[in-house]
Amino acid sequence: MFEHMTEEEARQHILKEVGEYCRQFHNTGKPFRKGDRIPYASRVYDEKEMTNLVDSALEFWLTSGRYTKEFERKFGEKLGVRYVSTVNSGSSANLLAFNALTSPLLGERRIRRGDEVITVAAGFPTTVTPMIQYGAVPVFVDVTMETANIDVTKLDDALSSRTKAVMLAHTLGNPFDLSAVKAFCDRHGLWLVEDNCDSLGSRYTLDGETRMTGTFGDIGTSSFYPPHHLTMGEGGAVYTNNPLLHKIIRSMRDWGRDCVCVSGQDNLCGHRFDGQYGTLPKGYDHKYVYSHFGWNLKATDLQAAIGCAQIDKLDGFTEKRRHNYAFLRQQLIDRGAEEMLLLPEAAANSEPSWFGFLMTLKKSGIREQTVRAVESAGVQTRMLFSGNLIRHPCFDEMRAAYEAGDAENAGFRVSGTLDNTDRIMRDAFWVGVYPGMTDEKLACMAEIITEAAAGALH
């Protein structure tokens, strides 16, 4: 078939066929009928993602390469951030973001074992895991019921002489009070890490300037796992405007090495064999000099190829998520659901790109019955991830030490109470507003949710 073609002609031929295949067999969709399953999230893509993926496969570079470079450029331009590092998951992005702040290159400001980081327990575990694995002390602060984000009136009480950073996610796309958190960090010389895994495309206005979330703090992180705002299958990104943090992030992502040559490149700086590092012999190959204890957290070029097609769709996705949120909210209000459910509200000064639609039952103790009814009517539901992370088995040993007053072995601290966190853990659930949702499905969800909550009440 390819004998009379150049390699480029053969590639174009294959890609054309792949596009045809995608149009014919994917996204064919059948009309929605009441009772059909309504998932909380799904990938939204077309032939562009699939042809990019196959293009990268035909090139067979596999590790990070030209698509990764293109993705990082496009992502940086879209967010308005200077340095982007693609990684293999959002959890890896958080691991890197946190550990970057422990680098000796940061001098006095580096986070050391035993230093404290202010965060919340109502969220996804891997926002907090890196702190515990390193031996830093997460300090948990309660959230507000309206936004399920940190209650900023409690920040001052959480501060101690060992506080070095604040690391928080924007819950389900709704930004935390960036204005108060940023001012608090600036006032006390603290690092701010924004876990932006659930909020890509959300905007926030601070001092008259509107920017994307993830770009206000020192470091932002994203996840490209399928339910998220963009997908690569698996994948993530870490971003910063700070060149030193970028250098540290790249070093830790790529085995801890000192050298900045990309995969397959040698001697970019022209000094591969003439440096003096640590107590190594002078001229030791710079490619194998390690300035940090790192990992290998890179993504493949196949993942980035999908990301390159997805990023072009981000604005459309964001618009659709906002529409879906507003439509579902109104449908619920029209059906009187507000009497039974606390509905989500956008944070002040924000335009969220909603990841999910969180609802808390006003009457406690009927969540299970409500969720069972919603699920059996075909609507997929989710909890706010861990609810209250401290109550999970992974915290058993630490919780026991904390309750026994053994602060050293506890390895965490609670500032004030976590009453709202516990209430969300007990009484809240969420449903999807992803771009593949239609008004018809949203209206049907509103009906099912309202009926289920009413049924559980009576």
Ligand X SMILES: Cc1ncc(COP(=O)(O)O)c(C=O)c1O
Q: Which is nearer to ligand X, 199 or 251 (CB)?
A: 199
Ranges within 50-69 binding ligand X (CB under 6 A): none
Strand order in the sheet with 203-206: 209-212, 203-206, 350-351
Segment contacting ligand X (CB under 6 A): 51-59, 87-95, 297-305, 418-426?
A: 87-95
Query: Which amino acid, 44?
Result: V
Residue 228 annotated among the catalytic residues of the structure: yes
Q: Which is nearer to ligand X, 47 or 90 (CB)?
A: 90
Which residue among 13, 188, 228, 458 is the active-site one? Answer: 228
Q: Are 449 and 337 in contact (CB under 8 A)?
A: yes
Cβ-closest residue to ligand X? 90
Q: How far is the CB of 321 from ligand X (least distance, A)?
A: 15
Q: Which is nearer to ligand X, 91 or 99 (CB)?
A: 91
Ranges within 4-33 binding ligand X (CB under 6 A): none
Ranges within 93-132 binding ligand X (CB under 6 A): 94, 123-124, 126-127
Ranges within 206-225 binding ligand X (CB under 6 A): 223, 225
Q: How far is the CB of 389 from ligand X (least distance, A)?
A: 12
**Among 52, 91, 360, 388, which residue sits at the site for ligand X (rule: CB under 6 A)?**
91
Q: Which is nearer to ligand X, 169 or 437 (CB)?
A: 169
**Among 44, 71, 86, 90, which residue sits at the site for ligand X (rule: CB under 6 A)?**
90
Q: How far is the CB of 238 from ligand X (least distance, A)?
A: 12
Q: How far is the CB of 398 from ligand X (least distance, A)?
A: 20
Q: Does 89 bind ligand X (CB under 6 A)?
A: yes
Show the binding pattern over residues 140-179: x = contacts ligand X (CB under 6 A), - = does not: -----------------------------x----------
Q: How far is the CB of 140 from ligand X (least distance, A)?
A: 15
Ranges within 382-411 binding ligand X (CB under 6 A): none
**Whole-angstrom distance, CA of residue 314 vs CA of residue 310:** 7
Q: Which is nearer to ligand X, 51 or 89 (CB)?
A: 89
Q: How far is the CB of 24 from ligand X (least distance, A)?
A: 31
**Among 220, 236, 344, 411, which residue sits at the site for ligand X (rule: CB under 6 A)?**
236
Segment contacting ligand X (CB under 6 A): 37-45, 84-92, 107-115, 308-316?
A: 84-92
Q: How far is the CB of 384 from ligand X (least distance, A)?
A: 10
Q: Per residue, what are the HEC states of the chain? A: CCCCCCHHHHHHHHHHHHHHHHHHHCCCCCCCCCCCCECCCCCCCCHHHHHHHHHHHHHCCCCCCHHHHHHHHHHHHHHCCCEEEEECCHHHHHHHHHHHCCCHHHHHHCCCCCCEEEEECCCCHHHCHHHHHHCCEEEEECECCCCCCECHHHHHHHCCCCEEEEEEECHHHCCCCHHHHHHHHHHHCCEEEEECCCCCCCEEEECCEEEECCCCCCEEEEECCCCCCCCCCCCEEEEECCHHHHHHHHHHHECCECCCCCCCCCCCCCCCCCCCCCCCCCCCCHHHCECCCCCECCCCHHHHHHHHHHHCCHHHHHHHHHHHHHHHHHHHHHCCHHHCEECCCCCCCEECCCCEEEEEECCCCCHHHHHHHHHHCCECCECCCCCCHHHCHHHHHHHHHHHCCCHHHHCCEECCCCHHHHHHHHHEEEEECCCCCCHHHHHHHHHHHHHHHHHHHC
Q: Does 198 bind ligand X (CB under 6 A)?
A: yes
Q: Does 197 bind ligand X (CB under 6 A)?
A: yes
Q: Catalytic residues, which ones?
A: 228
Footprint of ligand X on this chain (CB under 6 A)? Answer: 89-91, 94, 123-124, 126-127, 169, 195, 197-198, 223, 225, 236
